[in-house]
Structure 1
């Protein structure tokens, strides 16, 4: 989710918070008088006795039963949305493109989704793997892959991991021209429902 939209939105929110913080700081410490400078007419706080909300603004809806539940609900929604957004920023970044050596000295860009689809389909084609999911991430400046696979009841995990490394990942490394492709594989047993026999 670290897109241009996120960066612009974070920048705007930061700018608004900075202006509000500076307004409170300048007004509460009376810095314009101590440092002998003037603030614009639109500046909300110009002295230590100025407040962000007047008594009228703070108390005009106090008698209405709907006011405090709405305020608390809106603040709770904003808090949950901000927390979700923060956690989304901290998640591992999915690689969108990989630069590969095309042999002509200029290189080419390979879509990360294309490599993920190939890894997923080749993993699922491997004997003993019933389903697979692949996500391409960045690991210390180089591409890395996280695989989650569902193993059939007859599959041996060691054989699957060995074959995955020597066949599937090796083909991906060779075709993409990557010197190394670190991988993390999570294996899960596929549970089948018992069939009823008459």
Structure 2
């Protein structure tokens, strides 16, 4: 599914880039009067052949403006385009959770482990480490090559270097061994926990 999505994204980006590049080149040629300078014979009806021409003639701009449906349709189409663009942007920026991990069961076929189950085990073991007051774990990547993204909330007295080392040597190493993975790369973000001050009387 992710491969199909990436292929679709590349095709759409390529088409959009080609259209924008072609339109920009046509406008640039007309604006710099390149057809006349380079003696390029353009086909009849070719737009933007000289600097004096506008992108949209007045007739094209005002053809439907006197119709009652024109502006609602224009606004609706632009709104749909904006929403589709925002949806596409959000899907590109969102980090997708890995639904399952392929575990080597020793029989040559393998078994599937739920990604959320492995995330829960990793988070629980990480929160049991000294100096860690909270952990959020997310599995990304492919089911044969998962990756770990973790956000650890550290106690005020915690040593960040020690926490990261223990996270890698204990929690991640145990998860890698239990899933039969050769590698389990991890990206860790640390943040401090702010405690509310208490009044002592």
Q: TM-score, normalised by structure 1?
A: 0.63
Q: Which residue number in structure 2 is paired with residue 152 of structure 1?
A: 155
**Cα RMSD (Å) of the superposition?**
3.7
Shift of 1:129: 1.0
Q: Which residue number in structure 1 is paired with residue 99 of structure 2?
A: 96
Matched position secondary structure for 2:85: helix
How many angstroms apart in 1 are the aligned matches of 2:146 and 2:64?
A: 58
How many angstroms apart in 1 are the aligned matches of 2:192 and 2:81?
A: 40
Number of residue equivalences: 156
User: 166-175 vs 90-99, which deviates more?
Assistant: 90-99
Q: 1:125 aligns with which of 125, 128, 132?
A: 128
Name stretches of at least 5 consecutive residues in structure 1 with no aligned partner.
15-47, 49-54
Matched position secondary structure for 2:116: helix
The question of 1:179 aligning with 2:182 is answered yes
Q: Which residue number in structure 2 is paired with residue 107 of structure 1?
A: 110
**Residues 70, 189 of structure 1: CA spacing in aligned structure 2 closer, same or farther, 3 A cutoff?**
farther
Shift of 1:154: 1.0
How many angstroms apart in 1 are the aligned matches of 2:93 and 2:136?
A: 21
Q: Counterparts in 2 of 1:42-81, with a 5 A limit?
A: 62=66, 64=68, 68=71, 71-72=74-75, 75-81=78-84
**Residues 70, 124 of structure 1: CA spacing in aligned structure 2 closer, same or farther, 3 A cutoff?**
farther
Q: Which residue number in structure 1 is paired with residue 32 of structure 2?
A: none
Q: TM-score, normalised by structure 2?
A: 0.62
Q: 1:142 aligns with which of 145, 161, 168?
A: 145
How many angstroms apart in 2 are the aligned matches of 1:59 and 1:195?
A: 71
Q: Which residue number in structure 2 is paired with residue 168 of structure 1?
A: 171
Q: Which residue number in structure 1 is paired with residue 53 of structure 2?
A: none
Q: Which residue number in structure 2 is paired with residue 19 of structure 1?
A: none
